[in-house]
């Protein structure tokens, strides 16, 4: 459970529980790197090492709209999911050079009420223009059988360079019980970054939001709590294009590794103490015009709040979630056809707060829960104009000794309305290497951090310009 006093960062320390695994994060990174190296070498030695390494769109010769609803990431079409599950290696066979892409996002944020002291260090209380982030991606086929993406980003608000999302995978095909079997392995740095559906946290709606507007403090662990602060490896299978199964193991990065990847702050953040198992299951069905996915996912972790090992105790946090995706494609033969998509996710978190309770000595409740619900629908007109709406809600155990909200309640809910415009990324676009997304988003809170009084003060309008160039 994250959010107390805005300490939403996680890292790793030397295990303190008696049965803890003593393999350090550095060792895990080393092992992961070794695994990747083995995969790379085993593939390279069987093939020509001087293969082309283009970025996704150039590599496949496909317009953005082939993979992305609305012609701009990250919402995936059935083909986009296929491309990802097959290891990002599908190609038109041409040599396109290094697979480099660059993105940048600039924005204007207006909140209903100014934020005293400034929206962030160096920013005004209201009406801020910002370069939210700019990223350089290595994205595409690494060898004929290994592909992925690595994001190097600069956070324009915190003025901090850092690693962004990483997902590198190898996939292969076979048969099981006379039906197709796709299997693969992934190395990544954020639970659900490897997921092909947009109903899980990392790639869920909203696809971008203001870094300068207030957000509720309560969030579950799987909902971004480990993003870029853990390293994991896993395996997945897709059987008969019906059943998807995945299992991963994550390890929080230690302080040195967090500094190395640009994650700050590192000193007073929550830290994990052991390997964290992650599991995913999904049932999918594709009809001519429709795609349906119903699934579940979950993760379990031991967390030291603030990295404090004084009491030798930890908080035991478990997230169990359900999700669903539905997509309707009006004409599957045209990537610019109208597309409806809907996503739902429900995350239930339970936490045994032994460490926090011992640390505070203020009568904090031992058992906490936090539930998050998100429902969103979007309709993409000709892969150009995409209005979306989302309802979100987080409710949990009220505890004045844990949540630093006026009444001790973590409850928040509200709606997000957005309209995005993407002029290019279609088969007839004049610049196949360039695309941009112009969006206006309005966030409306019914409750904010436990209270409906003054919740609307956090409402905000967010204009964003997101551009992408594929070298």
Partner 1 sequence: MPLRLCVATAFLMGIIVAVQAASTITVGQHGLLLTQSSASIKQGDRIVFTNEDDVIHNIHIFGPGPDDSTDLGLQKPGISLTYRFDKAGTYRVRCNIHPSVRMAVTVK
Site residues (CB under 8 A) for partner 1? 60-63, 66, 78-79, 82-83, 85-86, 90-93, 288, 329, 331-336, 427
Residue 383: CB atoms within 10 A of its CB come to 27
Tell me which residue of 87, 127, 105 sits closest to 212, measured CA to CA. 127
Q: Is 269 helix (H, G, I), strand (E, B) or coil?
A: coil
Tell me which residue of 148, 35, 43, 41 sits closest to 86, measured CA to CA. 148
Q: Is 359 helix (H, G, I), strand (E, B) or coil?
A: helix
CB 335 to partner 1: min, Å? 6
Using the minimum distance from each CB to partner 1, give the nearer residue, 90 or 245.
Answer: 90
Question: Do the strands 230-239 and 434-447 form a parallel or antiparallel pair, or are they unpaired?
Answer: unpaired
Using the minimum distance from each CB to partner 1, give the nearer residue, 88 or 138.
Answer: 88
Cβ contact 257:29 at 8 Å? yes
CB 86 to partner 1: min, Å? 5
Q: Is 178 helix (H, G, I), strand (E, B) or coil?
A: coil
CB 92 to partner 1: min, Å? 6
Using the minimum distance from each CB to partner 1, give the nearer residue, 279 or 382.
Answer: 382
* Structure tokens, 449: 């951090």
Using the minimum distance from each CB to partner 1, give the nearer residue, 167 or 270.
Answer: 167
Q: Which residues of 211-229 are buried (b: 16+ CB within 10 A; e: fewer)?
A: bbbbbbbbbbbbbbbbbbb
Question: Do the strands 290-304 and 276-286 form a parallel or antiparallel pair, or are they unpaired?
Answer: antiparallel
Using the minimum distance from each CB to partner 1, give the nearer residue, 74 or 332.
Answer: 332
CB 235 to partner 1: min, Å? 18
Using the minimum distance from each CB to partner 1, give the nearer residue, 299 or 383.
Answer: 383
Using the minimum distance from each CB to partner 1, give the nearer residue, 22 or 288.
Answer: 288
CA dihedral 7, 9, 14, 18 (to 10 degrees): 70
Beta-bridged to residue 465, according to DSSP, are: 106, 438
Using the minimum distance from each CB to partner 1, give the nearer residue, 83 or 392.
Answer: 83
CB 77 to partner 1: min, Å? 9
Using the minimum distance from each CB to partner 1, give the nearer residue, 21 or 330.
Answer: 330
Whole-angstrom CA distances from 32 to 250, 301, 426, 428 are: 11, 20, 38, 42
Alpha carbon distance 45, 284 (integer Å): 36
CB 409 to partner 1: min, Å? 47
Q: Is 300 helix (H, G, I), strand (E, B) or coil?
A: strand
CB 62 to partner 1: min, Å? 6
CB 90 to partner 1: min, Å? 5
* Structure tokens, 283: 């049932």
Using the minimum distance from each CB to partner 1, give the nearer residue, 46 or 124.
Answer: 46
Whole-angstrom CA distances from 410 to 126, 151, 200, 363 are: 25, 32, 21, 17
Alpha carbon distance 68, 56 (integer Å): 12
Tell me which residue of 443, 447, 393 sits closest to 417, measured CA to CA. 443
Using the minimum distance from each CB to partner 1, give the nearer residue, 16 or 337.
Answer: 337
Report residue 47 CA to chain centroid gap.
33
Report residue 181 CA to chain centroid gap.
26
**72 Cβ partners below 8 Å, 6+ apart?**
64, 420, 422, 425, 435, 436, 437, 466, 468
CB 175 to partner 1: min, Å? 11
Using the minimum distance from each CB to partner 1, give the nearer residue, 63 or 214.
Answer: 63
**Residue-wise DSSP of 304-353:** EGGG--TTS--EEEEEEEEEEEEEEES-TT-TTS-EEEEEEEEEEEEEEE
């Amino acid at each position: 459970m994250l959010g107390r006093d805005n300490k939403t960062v996680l890292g790793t320390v030397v295990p303190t529980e008696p049965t803890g695994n003593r393999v350090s994060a550095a060792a895990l990174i080393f092992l992961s790197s070794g695994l990747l190296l083995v995969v790379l070498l085993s593939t390279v030695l069987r093939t020509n090492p001087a293969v082309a390494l283009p970025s996704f769109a150039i590599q496949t010769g496909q317009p953005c709209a082939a993979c992305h609803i609305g012609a701009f990431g990250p919402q995936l079409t059935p083909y986009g999911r296929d491309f990802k599950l097959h290891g990002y290696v599908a190609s038109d066979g041409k040599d396109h050079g290094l697979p480099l892409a660059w993105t940048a996002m600039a924005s204007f944020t207006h909140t209903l009420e100014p934020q005293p002291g400034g929206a962030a260090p160096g920013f005004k209380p209201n009406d801020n223009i910002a370069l939210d982030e700019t990223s350089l991606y290595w994205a595409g086929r690494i060898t004929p059988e290994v592909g992925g993406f690595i994001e190097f980003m600069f956070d324009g608000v915190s003025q901090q360079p850092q690693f962004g999302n990483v997902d590198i995978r190898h996939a292969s095909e076979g048969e099981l019980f006379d039906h197709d079997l796709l299997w693969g392995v992934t190395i990544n740095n954020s639970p659900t970054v490897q997921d092909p559906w947009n109903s899980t946290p990392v790639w869920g709606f909203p696809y971008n939001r203001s870094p300068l507007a207030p957000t509720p403090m309560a969030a579950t662990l799987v909902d971004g709590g480990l993003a870029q602060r853990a390293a994991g490896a896993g395996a997945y299978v897709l059987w008969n294009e019906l059943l998807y199964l995945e299992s991963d193991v994550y390890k929080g990065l230690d302080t040195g590794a967090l500094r190395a990847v640009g994650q700050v702050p590192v000193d007073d953040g929550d830290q994990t103490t052991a390997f964290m198992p992650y599991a995913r299951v999904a049932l999918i069905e594709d009809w001519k015009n429709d795609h349906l996915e119903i699934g579940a996912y979950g993760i379990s972790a031991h967390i030291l709040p603030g990295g404090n090992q004084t009491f030798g105790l930890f908080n035991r946090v478990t997230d169990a979630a359900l999700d669903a995706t539905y997509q309707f494609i009006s004409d599957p033969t045209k990537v610019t056809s109208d597309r409806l998509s809907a996503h739902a996710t429900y995350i239930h978190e339970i936490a045994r707060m032994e460490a926090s309770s011992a640390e505070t000595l203020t009568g904090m409740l031992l058992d906490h829960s936090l539930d998050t619900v998100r429902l969103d629908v979007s309709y993409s007109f000709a892969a150009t104009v995409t209005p979306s709406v989302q309802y979100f809600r987080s409710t949990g155990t009220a505890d004045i000794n844990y949540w630093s909200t006026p009444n001790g309640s973590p409850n928040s809910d509200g709606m997000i309305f957005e309209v995005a415009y993407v002029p290019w990324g279609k088969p007839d676009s004049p610049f196949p290497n360039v695309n941009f997304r112009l969006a206006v988003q309005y966030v409306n809170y019914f409750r904010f951090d436990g209270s409906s009084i003054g919740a609307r003060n956090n409402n905000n309008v967010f204009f964003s310009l997101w551009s992408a160039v594929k070298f």
